[in-house]
Chains A and B, each alone.
Chain A
């Protein structure tokens, strides 16, 4: 049961093979047993989960079940869920029980799915290894001396360790795709504006986007059908007709034009990962796709531009954490200013503070034009590069991450090294495009991911391209030893 796909779980529930309460309990038991070593979840609340499961079973009995009714899912702790501790991986929100639901949570609740727990993450989603969490680092289920990636590391580890059938993540610079790659999952970052950001605690508002993390493209499609949709509470939410993201899953790939940006295939990527990516592309050729070389000449600037724009927005987004209305307040302080400074110094971890300081600096008087505006202009150049590239191809492919999972602690001391982990994923966020990571094999027992990048609103096509590959490969069906 625990290795089944979402649609197969839905069938089992429909066939009364298992109830939602039983399925939820099954996962809760595994979490109780295995989470202490994986640390994928920050909060588990069996009572709440089982109440939801019970309600889902009732809904089914009343003949009102949908495709996700009764299915337990892990929610990244960045999504506010009413009555649930919602920490965003930070001491700052260590006591924050959300009084409201994020739109994504609301949509899952309306679909009758069950919140299995809130997953661990890099603090305020700032990190690529899940080591910045106040609640401890997460172990990669494929090798518990290694990181699961980040920032959605808890979600990735939960699904990889079979502690949830699927999970949600958010992706600001690769935070869905990179942990998906490092944990052998299929993850999708949708076009900016497809999934509502309301109730998703902001890191960098113009880049953040929620999306599914699951075992297959098919499961991702199912989740995205529920997650996506116009939300009037989010000004950047796109008012588009609803679509079935799984509608094209089975479409043959004959004639598909795959763009291979030369900047993805130069130096920077480990040879083992590159070999796996190239093998995957060869597999696509077998499926009838053609490849064409394209260029994203400004891609190398995506990391510097990102490390101006994201911290700038974050520095402002995180100003609300001041110890006045909710969250951490320092126990002792001399006056108001001291209360702010101490609460924020004690409530935020080192990486978050670092990024707030960078962001504050690049926005400050005299530096705005040189840093912030320049970064925004480069952002435009990068977006334009993609527009040009998509004139020549239907989908772009390359590695998701330059390496497989690295060791815990290996890069923690060197922020620049850590930032370069996102070299292949960041440009997609700057442009606002959809991107996926799909398992494409193992190097030294560690999974690697193939990244697919599509034009705006091409989620259905990306899922189709990923799904056809998963029909002829079984990388995505591999599980870490000893967990099944």
Chain B
């Protein structure tokens, strides 16, 4: 299969990456090349094979319910693009 320009644009929007028409076009070419490689998987019969999401078959470890953190707001916000009154500022959100 091969992707369409429309799909590339839609995926770019989902990923919140602005993409120009020229970029979409060249990206389409690259992605189609990569998907040709990926398509090799499709021929393999994997029925009954348990998908492997982790490199180890282990159980999640649990943390005791205790507060272990202190306020480090100033240090964290020192690298923020825009803050005011302890808040991170972003363009107006409309609900």
Contact = CB atoms under 8 A, between A and B. Distances in A.
Interface of A: 95-97, 99, 192-193, 206-207, 232, 235-236, 238-239, 298, 300-301, 303-305, 307-308, 315, 319, 322-327, 329, 333, 335-342, 344-345, 348, 353-354, 356-358, 360-362, 364, 370-371, 373-381, 383, 414-416, 419, 429-432
B15 A376 contact: no
B19 to A, nearest CB: 7
Given A339-B90, A357-B17, A377-B49, 19 more contacts: A96-B79, A193-B56, A298-B44, A301-B44, A323-B81, A324-B80, A325-B88, A326-B76, A338-B91, A340-B16, A341-B16, A341-B17, A345-B18, A360-B11, A371-B38, A377-B50, A377-B51, A377-B52, A383-B52
Contacts of B67: none
Nearest to B49: A377
A235 B93 contact: no
A345 B19 contact: yes
A301 B39 CA distance: 10
B18 A329 contact: no
A374 B41 contact: yes
Nearest to B51: A376
Which 8 A/B pairs are nearest by Cβ-Cβ distance?
A: A432-B55, A376-B51, A192-B55, A377-B46, A345-B18, A341-B18, A340-B16, A380-B52
Nearest to A344: B17
B47 to A, nearest CB: 9
A298 B44 CA distance: 10
Interface of B: 3, 7-8, 11-19, 27, 30-31, 33-34, 36-42, 44, 46, 49-56, 58, 60-61, 63, 72, 75-76, 78-82, 88, 90-93
Contacts of B80: 324-326
B40 A304 contact: yes
Most A-side CB within 10 Å, residue of B8, B11, B16, B63: B16
A432 B38 contact: no
B33 A415 contact: yes
Nearest to A335: B91
Contacts of A431: 55
Most A-side CB within 10 Å, residue of B36, B38, B49, B80: B38
Contact of B52 (A238, A329, A376): A376
A419 B61 CA distance: 35
A357 B15 contact: yes
A297 B15 CA distance: 35
B46 to A, nearest CB: 4
B14 A364 contact: yes
B56 A307 contact: no
A381 B49 contact: yes
A356 B17 contact: yes
Most B-side CB within 10 Å, residue of A95, A329, A345, A419: A345
B71 to A, nearest CB: 13
B27 A357 contact: yes
